[in-house]
């Protein structure tokens, strides 16, 4: 199948733009929120302040961008239109309201009763997304490897958000007498390991070969990643909730680690065979993201073995900012100009001069932002390891500066006009 981001079955650009614009806005806000997180670098990984920041960053940026990308890519991958575009608009507005209430409840003690209400609204919005995806898959006759990743990832989203809702209702209204610590960990693993990682793996098999012009590569490693990782996440969630012995949790963790490493090997193989050899900001972001992903897995393993809280924080910094942020921002620089070009300039082809895609991104700004992000992640990690709050704050300031450049570059792409 010849892969292209554009298809007549894709939703209107304005729908995808809703998610991308909101995602970049909440990314900038989460960068500002990080400035107040220096005192948490030695604390317990499950706290209200970290919950507020992680939900703002993950729900506001990571998952917002994933939702937008899914609505654009599903018709491309499945060769079938989304079941309902109207559902997608409803989901967007409910989602923004819901997670905003949750973040407010986590951030301010006097608003903690907002958490269950925000959780319910967020849960309903995600149900809309899940069933929109499920009904789209229902009409398919053939399911490819990439579509399996997207489908299983969506199932993990449904399960993990259901857990999140039960946790919120139990905290706010005492709905269930549960082990909050174990359930929160299962919720985190289901969301990050299940939904986010499965979607990232699946989408990578579309975007990275397309942008690197790689062909004729073996898919054996990504096949291994699919089965190992999905099994590992499932087993780990069950083991945590059902209080299975440590041995079972260790087997689940090993499967997840092997799944992630298989994914990294697969992407390395694709990049090694790429026709486009230019090491631009996209390639730099992808390589940095992969290094941070492997390092994050290693530090997370040490955290579970040694139980040192700072190792959990370090793993989170590497995963959130080293892997997810680099990976997503690098692809925003590729996807956003194309979608804007297709909407704004493709009707003008043959009638007047139209821009090239790379002209719609301010290259020097993107290069500067990329290096600022890399340095910021290094400083943040150093602050966590040394437990120096001022060092972590310095990294936060540099990270926020790089995020502002991302927002400015997105604005540059949206407002791009051909020079006379």
Closest CA to 257 of 327, 189, 204, 314: 189
Note the pLDDT tens digit of each residue in 340-365: 888 888 777 777 888 888 888 999 99
**CB 24, CB 406: distance < 8 Å:** yes
Answer whether residue 1 shows pLDDT above 50. Answer: no
CA distance 103 to 29: 12
pLDDT bin (cut points 50, 70, 90) of residue 78 is: confident
Closest CA to 68 of 88, 48, 98: 88
What pLDDT is attached to residue 97?
A: 95
CA distance 307 to 299: 11
**End-to-end alpha-carbon separation of the chain, Å?**
38
Mean pLDDT, range 395-420, rounded to an integer:
88
Answer whether residue 2 shows pLDDT above 60. Answer: no
Note the pLDDT tens digit of each residue in 251-270: 999 999 999 999 999 999 99
Answer whether residue 77 shows pLDDT above 70. Answer: yes
What pLDDT is attached to residue 49?
A: 73
Mean pLDDT, range 199-226, rounded to an integer:
91
pLDDT bin (cut points 50, 70, 90) of residue 3 is: low
Answer whether residue 190 shows pLDDT above 90. Answer: yes
Residues 6+ apart with CB under 8 A from 148: 202, 226
- Can you give the three-state secondary structure of 281-298, one letter per residue? HHHHHHHHHHHHHHHHHH
176 or 217: whose pLDDT is higher? Answer: 217
Answer whether residue 82 shows pLDDT above 70. Answer: yes
Least confident of 15-19, 71-75, 140-144: 140-144
CA distance 9 to 301: 43
What pLDDT is attached to residue 46?
A: 58
**CB 332, CB 410: distance < 8 Å:** yes
Answer whether residue 79 shows pLDDT above 70. Answer: yes
182 or 227: whose pLDDT is higher? Answer: 227
CA distance 335 to 356: 13
CA distance 151 to 259: 17
Mean pLDDT, range 24-28, rounded to an integer:
92
**CB 300, CB 315: distance < 8 Å:** yes
CA distance 296 to 315: 5
**CB 195, CB 160: distance < 8 Å:** yes
Mean pLDDT, range 281-307, rounded to an integer:
91
Note the pLDDT tens digit of each residue in 131-176: 999 998 887 778 889 999 999 999 999 999 898 888 877 776 666 7
**CB 104, CB 110: distance < 8 Å:** no
Note the pLDDT tens digit of each residue in 362-388: 999 999 999 999 999 999 999 999 989
CA distance 194 to 160: 8
**CB 70, CB 3: distance < 8 Å:** no
Mean pLDDT, range 225-249, rounded to an integer:
94
Residues 6+ apart with CB under 8 A from 205: 145, 146, 149, 219, 222, 266
Domain ranges of the chain: 278-414
**CB 58, CB 88: distance < 8 Å:** no
CA distance 163 to 176: 11
Answer whether residue 64 shows pLDDT above 90. Answer: yes
Q: Which two tokens stand for residue 14?
A: 């304005």
DSSP 228-256: HHHHHHHHHHHHHHTT--HHHHHHHHHHH
Per-chain mean pLDDT for the chain: 88
Closest CA to 75 of 14, 136, 21: 136
Q: Which two tokens stand for residue 402?
A: 């790089």
- DSSP code for 11: P
What pLDDT is attached to residue 397?
A: 95
Mean pLDDT, range 54-61, rounded to an integer:
90
CA distance 255 to 67: 27
Detail the DSSP E strand segments found in 86-168: none
Least confident of 21-30, 52-61, 271-280, 308-317: 271-280
**CB 389, CB 383: distance < 8 Å:** yes
CA distance 79 to 412: 31
């Amino acid at each position: 199948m010849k892969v292209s981001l554009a298809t007549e079955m894709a939703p209107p650009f304005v729908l995808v733009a809703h998610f991308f614009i909101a995602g970049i806005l909440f990314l900038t806000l989460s960068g500002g929120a990080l400035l107040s997180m220096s005192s948490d670098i030695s604390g317990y990984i499950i706290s209200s302040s970290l919950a507020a920041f992680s939900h703002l960053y993950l729900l506001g940026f990571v998952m917002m961008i994933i939702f937008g990308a899914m609505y654009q890519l599903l018709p491309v991958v499945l060769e079938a239109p989304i079941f309902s575009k109207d559902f997608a608009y409803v989901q967007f507005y409910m989602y923004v309201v819901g997670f905003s209430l949750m973040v407010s409840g986590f951030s301010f003690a006097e608003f903690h009763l907002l958490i269950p209400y925000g959780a319910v609204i967020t849960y309903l919005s995600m149900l809309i997304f899940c069933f929109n995806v499920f009904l789209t898959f229902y009409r398919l006759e053939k399911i490819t490897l990439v579509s399996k990743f997207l489908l299983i990832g969506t199932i993990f989203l449904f399960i993990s958000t259901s857990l999140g809702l039960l946790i919120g209702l139990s905290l706010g209204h005492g709905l269930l007498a549960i082990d909050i610590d174990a359930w929160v960990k299962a919720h985190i693993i289901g969301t990050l390991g299940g939904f986010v990682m499965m979607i990232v793996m699946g989408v990578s098999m579309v975007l990275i070969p397309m942008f690197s012009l790689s062909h004729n590569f073996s898919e054996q490693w990504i096949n291994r990643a699919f089965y190992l990782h999905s099994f590992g996440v499932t087993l780990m969630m069950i083991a945590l909730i059902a209080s299975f012995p440590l041995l079972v949790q260790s087997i689940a963790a090993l499967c997840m680690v092997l799944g992630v490493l298989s994914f990294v090997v697969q992407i390395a193989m694709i990049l090694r065979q790429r026709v486009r050899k230019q090491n631009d900001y996209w390639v730099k972001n992808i390589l940095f993201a992969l290094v941070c992903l492997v390092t994050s897995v290693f530090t997370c393993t040490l955290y579970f073995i040694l139980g040192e809280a700072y190792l959990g924080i370090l793993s989170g910094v590497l995963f959130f900012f080293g892997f997810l942020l680099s990976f997503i921002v690098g692809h925003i620089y590729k996807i956003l100009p194309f979608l804007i070009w297709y909407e704004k300039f493709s009707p003008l082809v043959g009638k007047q001069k139209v821009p090239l895609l790379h002209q719609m991104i301010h290259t020097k700004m993107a290069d500067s932002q990329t290096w600022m992000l890399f340095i910021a992640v290094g400083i943040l990690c150093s602050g966590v390891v040394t437990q120096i709050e001022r060092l972590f704050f310095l990294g936060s300031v540099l990270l926020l500066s790089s995020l502002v450049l991302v927002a400015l570059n997105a604005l540059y792409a949206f407002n791009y006009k051909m020079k006379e």
